[in-house]
C-alpha cells in the first residue's frame, strides 16, 4: 500500500492546536532555513505557529482547517479563512491561508488532495474564488500552484520576523 492511501485527511477540531503548531513551525523552518535569517524564522514561528493562534482559528466558525495524518502523526494541513489580502475582494472569496506539508511527503499527490479539500470546502460555503499568498521566490510552491490552476493576480509585502518579503497573490476560480 502506498503512503498516499495510508494518509488520512480530516477536519480539525479543538484539541488539534499542538499538532497544527508543530507541523506549521517544522514546515516553515524546513522551507526557509538558510533562505531567511534564523532569528526571523523563530520570531515568525513563535507568533504565527503558536498553538494559541490555531486555537483561535479552530474556535472561529469562519475558519476551516484540515489535518493530514499518517498513522495518527500530523504531516500537513490546510487553513481556509476570511480573505485578508490587498486585492479587490468580494463575498465570493475565501483565502487558503496555509497549506503546509512536510517535505518528505511532497510530490506524492497530498498537496493536491489538500487543495481539492480546500476547494470543495470553499464551494460548500458558496465561495467562487480561492486566494492565497506565496513568497515570490518560493519556486517549488509556485510551480505546484501553477499545476493545480492558480493564476497570479497581485503582490504584497509580508513580514517574517523583521524581514520584509515579497509575496505573490494567486487566485483559483471555483
- Domains identified in the chain and CATH numbers: 3-173 (3.40.630.30)
Torsion over CA of 62, 68, 72 and 75, rounded to 10 degrees?
-120
The whole model's pTM is what? 0.93
Residues 54-69 pLDDT 10s = 999 999 999 999 999 9
Smallest Cα–Cα separation from 80: which of 26, 46, 131, 22? 131
What is the model's pLDDT at position 1?
41
61 vs 147: CA distance, rounded Å? 30
pLDDT tens column, 19-46: 999 999 999 999 999 999 999 999 999 9
Q: How far is CA 66 from CA 13, 17, 60, 104, in A?
A: 9, 12, 14, 19
Amino acid at each position: 500500500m502506498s503512503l498516499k492511501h495510508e494518509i488520512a485527511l480530516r477536519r480539525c477540531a479543538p484539541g488539534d492546536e499542538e499538532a497544527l503548531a508543530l507541523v506549521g513551525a517544522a514546515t516553515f523552518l524546513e522551507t526557509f532555513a538558510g533562505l531567511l535569517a534564523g532569528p526571523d524564522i523563530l520570531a515568525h514561528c513563535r507568533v504565527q505557529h503558536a498553538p494559541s493562534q490555531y486555537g483561535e482559528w479552530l474556535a472561529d466558525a469562519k475558519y476551516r482547517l484540515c489535518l493530514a495524518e499518517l498513522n495518527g502523526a500530523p504531516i500537513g494541513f490546510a487553513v481556509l479563512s476570511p480573505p485578508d489580502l490587498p486585492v479587490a475582494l468580494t463575498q465570493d472569496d475565501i483565502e487558503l491561508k496555509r497549506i503546509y506539508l512536510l517535505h518528505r511527503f511532497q510530490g506524492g499527490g497530498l498537496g493536491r488532495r489538500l487543495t481539492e479539500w480546500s476547494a470543495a470546502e470553499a464551494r460548500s460555503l458558496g465561495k467562487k474564488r480561492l486566494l492565497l499568498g506565496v513568497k515570490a521566490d518560493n519556486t517549488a510552491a509556485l510551480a505546484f500552484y501553477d499545476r493545480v490552476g492558480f493564476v497570479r493576480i497581485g503582490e504584497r509585502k509580508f513580514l517574517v520576523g523583521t524581514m520584509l518579503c515579497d509575496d505573490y497573490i494567486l487566485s483559483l476560480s471555483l
